[in-house]
């Protein structure tokens, strides 16, 4: 008799570390024991266990109540959550070909597992009955919110559709899971395949710290003694700002913006067309004209029109400022004797020169004062002063790569609160970008469960014992991701589905973007911006110039973001049948909004992982700007108090924003913190765009 997959899983169970109790500090994943071959058997067992738990809820002979339906759903799938958290952490942060192959199968199996659950008519009937009677159930505020979110989740997944529509929806979900995984793998493939060696003649304008990082990157690729450029944004951005070799800037820029668009095995154009077609079909099955209408119904923005209104309000002054800056940059090219029109690979280089002229500041001047360790200390210190947290590094926690560091986090009373994992350096096994995730979420359903929170970044490593030096953008990214981490670590809810960052996409960026403000405060920089060699604090003169320069080039930064957000919205509002040529669509949309030719999208479609590696930010890339309206306004509460660590405001921030997770409506949470709705012009003020020069 042939061995079934379930039998295989059972036979491997004793030796499979994913299926055993973890005898590690705080029951953390034992990464050194986990090998790729452990995952499929573990997923098999987890799928089977979860399916049995769902069946028990579905066939419970008792009348539906909150405990036997909603709470039972919250308790189900624990093994699946545990295995998936470890798997996706490795796939994103430390992958290998074997894991990526497994990922293809897991993504399909995951869709096939969840489809019959989320479209289970009997289960949805129990949930709907409770939802109809919710006023008389005597529920707490958090329980009411959980019931509402559970009902909404099942309804939006298609649980109320007829059987034919459910079958088609399941097929669409499976195909989208495959396509999203393929998109992500293609992007990683293009990034891994490309590098550019930097000989002595190729280093004009590059700082010693950049060259040291390039040497470290070469060593990571088995090219010890050489220096290489990679397509990590933490390499590309400073190279485009500082390299005096225009030919190399062009080469790097074109490689960076062509990821996923090279006509090779990693090309993502056809994938995008199919994803858009399937998303539109799924939205129409659920009664929506467009995917954007479907997606935004369950958000703070509610409608595509509201999103477009915000983006267009910001686009006009941003474009005008960018065009005025373009003219100034072109004049600078001419002054230097350059006989060429400013190109996208020139903008950052000449913007840095112009910033030195106008603000007497460039990033290279401040980088020696922004070492990674000092900025980690700064992020921790702000959390201590705001929320009473303490951080102690632990060397006894298993990690997935030697670079990963772990800290135990305790609250003001000295009680264990969380573990925080920091994985900061770029490497070929890691996808690009920066993100926060969790290996375990906070909950109190069956006793206190402390979270395991992860930040992953792609900073350039220092070489030969030198520390990693961050650009101002890198330092801001570190604080941004740590703001997300605090949202996970400070979570104080009962139910797993409402934990930490389980909130609307256009609210989830508020805690992260708000935390960025502390990184650029003078009193924080005076304490933690110290020269990596001498330990001397940041000179007041340089600090003053840095603060003055913060609003410089905001037309460019805002234009490259808003244009990406507008294209995301148009991809998901225009008929998919009209988008068969992604490049042509991109060109047409940029022409429609008057995109300056010298500025590229922050994310061209074929590398726009936010919206095509999965659907979490599809129709939702605007969320960063929607949240920025709130974060700029929210930090104003501390500024008005005259104390950026004001205890009473910090307590409201903790109680209403960081600790409440998804347990309350986000608009109510914001008003509870601020005492009013956000004031939209705070965003334009922060970016220096309220008064914009006139330009063609």
Alpha-carbon distance of 504 to 669, in angstroms, equals 12
Q: 446 in a domain, yes or no?
A: no
Residue 516 neighbours by CB under 8 Å, 6+ apart: 476, 479, 480, 483, 631
Per the structure, how many domains does the chain have? 2
Residue-wise pLDDT tens digits, 272-305: 999 999 999 999 999 999 999 999 999 999 999 9
Residue-wise pLDDT tens digits, 143-183: 999 999 999 999 999 999 999 999 999 999 999 999 999 99
Domain's final residue, options 220, 241, 257? 257
Average pLDDT over residues 551-579: 96
Q: 61 in a domain, yes or no?
A: yes
Q: What is the pLDDT of residue 464?
A: 76
Q: 683 in a domain, yes or no?
A: no
Q: 288 in a domain, yes or no?
A: no
Q: Which two tokens stand for residue 569?
A: 């919205």
Helix (H, G, I), strand (E, B), or coil: what is residue 469?
strand
With CA atoms as reference, report the closest residue to 380 among 391, 372, 371, 370: 391
Q: What is the pLDDT of residue 1?
A: 40
* C-alpha 514, offset from chain centre: 15
Given a cut of 60, whether residue 696 has pLDDT beyond it is: no
| DSSP assignment string, 509-536 | HHHHHHHHHHHT-HHHHHHH-B-TTT-P
Same domain membership, residue 150 and residue 19 = yes
Q: What is the pLDDT of residue 11?
A: 47
User: CATH number of the domain that 83 lies in?
Assistant: 1.10.1370.40
- Kind of pairing between the strands at 452-459 and 416-425: parallel
Residue 181 neighbours by CB under 8 Å, 6+ apart: 103, 104, 107, 613
Same domain membership, residue 137 and residue 78 = yes
Given a cut of 70, whether residue 12 has pLDDT beyond it is: no
Given a cut of 50, whether residue 93 has pLDDT beyond it is: yes
Same domain membership, residue 27 and residue 132 = yes
Q: Helices (H), strands (E): how many in the chain?
A: 28, 7
Q: Lowest-confidence range among 66-70, 358-362, 518-522, 605-609?
A: 358-362
Same domain membership, residue 199 and residue 79 = no
Cβ pair 292, 569 in contact under 8 A: yes
Given a cut of 50, whether residue 7 has pLDDT beyond it is: no
Given a cut of 70, whether residue 6 has pLDDT beyond it is: no
pTM tops 0.85, yes or no? yes
Residue 156 neighbours by CB under 8 Å, 6+ apart: 286, 294, 298
Given a cut of 80, whether residue 9 has pLDDT beyond it is: no
Given a cut of 70, whether residue 334 has pLDDT beyond it is: yes
Q: What is the pLDDT of residue 692?
A: 46
Same domain membership, residue 249 and residue 156 = no
Cβ pair 36, 96 in contact under 8 A: yes
Q: What is the pLDDT of residue 14?
A: 58
Q: Which two tokens stand for residue 362?
A: 């460039």
Residue-wise pLDDT tens digits, 641-668: 999 999 999 999 999 999 999 999 999 9
Residue 231 neighbours by CB under 8 Å, 6+ apart: 190, 191, 194, 195, 255, 256, 259, 432
Domain's final residue, options 160, 186, 206? 160
Between the CA of residue 322 and those of 319, 353, 555, 593, 689, what are the distances in Å? 5, 16, 4, 13, 10
Q: What is the pLDDT of residue 463?
A: 74
Given a cut of 90, whether residue 39 has pLDDT beyond it is: yes
Q: What is the pLDDT of residue 361?
A: 87
Same domain membership, residue 149 and residue 206 = no
Same domain membership, residue 209 and residue 134 = no
Q: 293 in a domain, yes or no?
A: no
Cβ pair 465, 451 in contact under 8 A: no
Residue-wise pLDDT tens digits, 221-280: 999 999 999 999 889 999 999 999 999 999 999 999 999 999 999 999 999 999 999 999
Alpha-carbon distance of 126 to 62, in angstroms, equals 11
Same domain membership, residue 136 and residue 210 = no
Same domain membership, residue 68 and residue 128 = yes
Same domain membership, residue 101 and residue 21 = yes
Average pLDDT over residues 576-596: 97
**With pLDDT > 70 as the criterion, what percentage of the chain qualifies?**
97
Same domain membership, residue 155 and residue 9 = yes
**Average pLDDT of the chain, as a whole number:** 94
Same domain membership, residue 139 and residue 241 = no
H/E element, 425 = strand 416-425
Q: Highest mean pLDDT range out of 206-215, 540-549, 602-611?
A: 602-611
Given a cut of 90, whether residue 551 has pLDDT beyond it is: no
Average pLDDT over residues 523-547: 94
- Our answer to whether residue 481 is catalytic in this structure is yes
Q: 77 in a domain, yes or no?
A: yes
Domain's final residue, options 238, 257, 276? 257
Q: CA Rg, the chain, in Å?
A: 25
Q: State the helix-helix crossing angle for 269-285 and 163-193, rounded to 10 degrees.
A: 160
Alpha-carbon distance of 420 to 414, in angstroms, equals 16
Q: 165 in a domain, yes or no?
A: no
Alpha-carbon distance of 620 to 319, in angstroms, equals 21
Cβ pair 298, 504 in contact under 8 A: yes
Which residues constitute the domain of residue 202? 194-257
Q: 607 in a domain, yes or no?
A: no
Q: Which of 44, 191, 481, 516 is catalytic?
A: 481
Q: What is the pLDDT of residue 695?
A: 43
Residue-wise pLDDT tens digits, 117-132: 999 999 999 999 999 9
């Amino acid at each position: 008799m042939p061995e079934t997959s379930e039998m295989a899983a059972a036979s491997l169970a004793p030796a499979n570390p994913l299926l055993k109790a973890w005898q590690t500090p705080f029951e953390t994943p034992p990464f050194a024991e986990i090998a790729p071959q452990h995952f499929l058997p573990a997923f098999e067992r987890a799928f089977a266990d979860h399916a049995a738990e769902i069946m028990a809820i579905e066939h419970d002979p008792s009348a539906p109540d909150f405990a036997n339906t909603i709470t039972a759903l919250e308790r189900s799938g624990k093994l699946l959550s545990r295995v998936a958290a470890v798997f996706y952490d490795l796939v994103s942060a430390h992958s290998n070909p074997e894991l990526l192959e497994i990922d293809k199968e897991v993504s399909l199996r995951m869709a096939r597992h969840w489809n019959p659950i989320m479209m289970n008519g009997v289960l949805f009937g129990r949930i709907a009955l409770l939802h109809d009677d919710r006023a008389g159930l005597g529920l707490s505020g958090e329980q009411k919110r959980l019931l509402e979110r559970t009902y909404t989740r099942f309804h939006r997944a298609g649980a109320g559709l007829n059987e034919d529509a459910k079958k088609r929806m399941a097929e669409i979900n499976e195909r989208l899971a495959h396509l999203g995984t393929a998109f992500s793998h293609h992007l990683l493939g293009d990034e891994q395949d490309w590098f550019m060696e930097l000989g002595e003649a190729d280093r004009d304008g590059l700082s010693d710290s950049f060259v040291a990082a390039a040497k470290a990157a070469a060593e990571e690729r088995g090219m010890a003694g050489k220096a290489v450029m990679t397509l990590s944004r933490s390499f590309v951005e400073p190279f485009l700002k500082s390299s005096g070799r225009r030919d190399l800037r062009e080469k790097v820029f074109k490689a960076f913006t062509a990821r996923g668009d090279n006509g090779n095995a990693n090309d993502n154009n056809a994938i995008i067309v199919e994803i858009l077609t399937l998303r539109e079909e799924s939205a129409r099955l659920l009664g929506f004209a467009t995917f954007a209408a479907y997606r935004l119904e369950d958000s703070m923005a509610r409608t595509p029109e509201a999103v477009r209104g915000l983006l267009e309000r910001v686009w006009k002054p941003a474009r005008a400022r960018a065009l005025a800056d373009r003219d100034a940059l072109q004049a600078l090219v001419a002054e230097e004797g350059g006989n060429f029109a400013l190109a996208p690979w020139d903008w950052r280089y000449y913007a840095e020169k112009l910033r030195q002229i106008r603000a007497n500041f460039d990033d290279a001047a401040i980088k020696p004062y922004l070492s990674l360790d000092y900025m980690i200390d700064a992020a921790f210190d702000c959390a201590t002063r705001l929320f009473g947290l303490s951080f102690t590094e632990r060397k006894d926690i298993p990690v997935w790569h030697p670079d990963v560091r772990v800290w135990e986090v305790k609250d003001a009373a000295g009680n264990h609160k969380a573990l925080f994992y920091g994985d900061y350096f770029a490497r070929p096994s890691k996808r690009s970008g920066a993100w926060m995730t969790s290996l375990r979420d906070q909950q109190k359903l069956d006793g206190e469960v402390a979270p395991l929170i992860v930040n992953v970044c792609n900073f350039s490593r220092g070489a030969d014992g030198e520390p990693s030096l961050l650009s101002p953008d890198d330092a801001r990214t570190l604080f941004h991701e740590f703001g997300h981490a605090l949202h996970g670590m400070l979570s104080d809810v009962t139910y797993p589905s409402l934990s930490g960052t389980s909130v609307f996409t256009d609210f989830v960026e508020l805690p992260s973007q708000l935390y960025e403000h502390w990184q650029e405060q003078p009193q924080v920089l005076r304490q933690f911006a110290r020269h990596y060699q001498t330990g001397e604090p940041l000179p007041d003169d340089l600090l003053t110039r840095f603060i003055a320069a913060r609003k410089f080039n905001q037309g460019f930064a805002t234009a490259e973001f808003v244009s990406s957000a507008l294209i995301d919205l148009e991809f998901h509002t225009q008929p998919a049948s009209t988008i068969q040529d992604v490049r042509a669509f991109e060109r047409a949309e940029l022409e429609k909004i008057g995109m300056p030719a010298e500025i590229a999208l922050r994310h061209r479609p074929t590398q726009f992982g936010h919206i095509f590696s999965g659907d979490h930010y599809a129709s939702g890339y605007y969320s960063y700007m929607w949240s920025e309206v709130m974060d700029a306004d929210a930090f104003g509460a501390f500024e008005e108090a005259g104390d950026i660590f004001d205890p009473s405001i910090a307590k409201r921030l903790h109680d209403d924003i960081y600790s409440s997770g998804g347990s309350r409506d986000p608009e109510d949470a914001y008003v509870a913190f601020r005492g009013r709705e956000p004031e939209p012009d705070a965003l334009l003020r922060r970016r220096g765009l309220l008064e914009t020069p006139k330009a063609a």
